[in-house]
Structure 1
Amino acid sequence: MPTRRTVLSTLSAGVLAAGGLVAATPAPVWAAESSPVGYASLNGGTSGGSSSTVVTVTTAAALKSALSSGTSQTVRVSGLITISGMYSVASNKTVIGVGASSGITGGGFNLSGVRNVIIRNLVFRNASDDSINVQEGSTNIWIDHNDLANGYDGLIDIKRGSDYITVSWNRLHDHDKSMLLGHSDDNASQDLGKLRVTYKHNWFDGTNQRHPRVRFANPVHVLNNYYSNIGSYGVASTMNAGVFVERNYFENVANPTVTQTGDSDPGNIKVLNNYKVNSGTEQVRNGASVAAIPYSYTPQANNTVKATVVAGAGTGKI
């Protein structure tokens, strides 16, 4: 896996937030983490595929074969590969782009019932369905430093009882429905107690809605993301979900958070120290019903999030 970049920081002051010990960081900080922060670090952690078994692919056929192989390995994607439909990704894989412009166009990745997968530094364009679809109880997934745009449906959708996932440092743009968490109001039996996801340091750049749109999960952690020029809303919590929206930077966002959308029942949102520029007031509901975040983490000071995320999110930054 890529080595950790140097972290630029100042001394941190300890504070207590969200039920866990955290340290507030006042100065801009960004680094390509060598391991995930948040939920993907729990439940045994997320290490991805073997770093000693490496295959580099340049064609659709080679990519499809490598992704579906039962071998624990690192799959290096070189160039922008045109695919059709959804390619299945097996357990114990690290899928990583070479340089800043490698990835896929025309299709997407499907992670179904798998464990321990890392997807990093990839461009996703023009998917015929979802760009990345995580479903059927997949666990320990880390989606990091990708650039996603112009998909047909969701850019990163997580559903059907999937759990222990971190979505970090991605840039999403030129798209409507960005990130769904929980696909249906009728799926409580599979989703309750699951769908625990950390969203941190992502850049939602002119996208319209679902950043994320949450059902059932509690708690979901939305930390230090940058929302710029959002069309409909930022974060939505429905179906009694619990979402902690902490120290994000909202710029030109009329509705930073909403507690109901579509036909779904309302959900719960707790907010803490979000920074707003030309943006509306967050909606909150029954904040005491949002559970405590179960891991330690270091939040960044809210007013520095924009510069840090613009510098660090997307491809070519690891």
Structure 2
Amino acid sequence: MFQRTRSRATAALSAGVLLAGGLVAAGQSPALAAESSPVGFAGLNGGTPGGSAGTVVTVTSASALKSALSSSTSQTVRVSGLISISGMYNVASNKTVIGVGSGSGITGGGLNLSGVRNVILRNLVFRNASDDSINIQSGTTNVWVDHNDLANGYDGLIDIKRGSDYITVSWNRLHDHDKSMLLGHDDGNASQDLGKLRVTYVHNWFDGTGQRHPRVRFGNPVHVLNNYYSNIGSYGVASTMNAGVFVERNYFENVGSPTITQTGDSDPGNLKVLNNYKVNSGTEQVRNGASVAAIPYSYTPQANNTVKATVVAGAGTGKI
């Protein structure tokens, strides 16, 4: 279990109360309890509370979804059903976008977060995007991407770029796709990206995907913690362009290259590893771990050999 504080989560588990829309029974494993707030980087810089819980709109059509997402009102947008859209829909600041049940979300297009702040995307299905499924760019800060199911997009499933910062990507299931998650879009974008692109990736399930889990440029530190990688086609985590990536207590199963420090035409990046669990997997590449900045938040990592069971049980939609 990855948590910043013990008190609220532990008390809730022992009492059997509601956490983030999911009933946690007394004695249930805390790893299966959806967090009520983001852990990691999205919890810093003022936090990511999302849109107002008192202003709620439920949408069932593309036009209603587009209007609700772009509204200047701080609100919670409930997506009911799998809504077919075209292109990228812009998401304004101060929004919580959450799917109803386990099968609600977006098909045919994706969501674009550009120059905004304080957005939560949870419990959404993303299918068949014509570009990115989720695109976070242009100085966007404080985003929590949590408990989504993403597959079969044209480009990236979750791409973060152009000086975006303070982001947590947690409990997502990614499958039936090649280029999963880009962090930093171009080798020539140092002036905008240096000192930014700080992201926590925790408890995600990369299920038979090809590469970019994530593929990092410039960001330092980037924390890749307690994720499950199964049957990966090319590589797990890539650090390039002098990035600093800490790959800690993940579970790699059937992954030939769990970590690499150079790919494509990019200069190498820095990468350190700690206590990853490997089954039928290759050797991790590491480089200049002293250049990976310290993780600036407190946390208690889950034991590496338990990560697979926890993530398979808890990642994706219908779990919050």
Query: TM-score normalised to the size of structure 1?
Result: 0.93
* Structure 1 position 195 matched with structure 2 position 175: no
- Decide which of 5, 20, 23 is 1:2's aligned counterpart: 20
Q: Which residue of 2 aligns with 1:231?
A: 233
Q: Against the structure 1 CA distance between its residues 305 and 317, is the aligned structure 2 distance closer, same or farther, given a 3 Å change threshold?
A: same
CA contact (8 A) 2:134 2:156 kept: yes
CA contact (8 A) 2:31 2:314 kept: no
Q: Which residue of 1 aligns with 2:180?
A: 178
Matches within 5 A, 1:266-281: 266-281=268-283
Query: Comparing both chains, which one has the higher relative contact order based on Cα–Cα distances under 8 Å and sequence gaps of 6 or more?
Result: 1
Q: Which residue of 2 aligns with 1:156?
A: 158
CA contact (8 A) 2:110 2:129 kept: yes
Q: Against the structure 1 CA distance between its residues 218 and 5, is the aligned structure 2 distance closer, same or farther, given a 3 Å change threshold?
A: farther
- The 1-side partners of 2:31 and 2:120 are apart by 23
**In the TM superposition, what whole-angstrom CA distance separates every residue of 1:204-241 from its partner, at most 9, and x where no partner exists?**
00000000000001000000000000000000000000
State the shift of 1:297 in Å: 1.0
Runs of 4+ with deviation above 6 angstroms: 7-10
- The 2-side partners of 1:135 and 1:116 are apart by 13
State the shift of 1:33 in Å: 0.4
How many aligned positions are there? 302
CA contact (8 A) 1:4 1:34 kept: no
- The 1-side partners of 2:25 and 2:224 are apart by 22
Query: TM-score normalised to the size of structure 2?
Result: 0.92
CA RMSD in angstroms comes to 1.4
**SS class of match (2:49):** coil
Matches within 5 A, 1:228-267: 228-267=230-269
- The 1-side partners of 2:229 and 2:209 are apart by 9
- The 2-side partners of 1:145 and 1:301 are apart by 21
Q: Which residue of 2 aligns with 1:18?
A: none
- The 2-side partners of 1:40 and 1:310 are apart by 23
Q: Against the structure 1 CA distance between its residues 250 and 97, is the aligned structure 2 distance closer, same or farther, given a 3 Å change threshold?
A: same
Q: Which residue of 2 aligns with 1:23?
A: none
CA contact (8 A) 1:76 1:95 kept: yes
- The 2-side partners of 1:97 and 1:42 are apart by 25
Q: Which residue of 2 aligns with 1:208?
A: 210
- The 2-side partners of 1:244 and 1:61 are apart by 42
- The 2-side partners of 1:233 and 1:251 are apart by 12
Percent identity at matched positions?
Answer: 86
Q: Which residue of 2 aligns with 1:107?
A: 109
**In the TM superposition, what whole-angstrom CA distance separates every residue of 1:61-94 from its partner, at most 9, and x where no partner exists?**
0000000000000000000000000000000000
- The 2-side partners of 1:232 and 1:8 are apart by 41
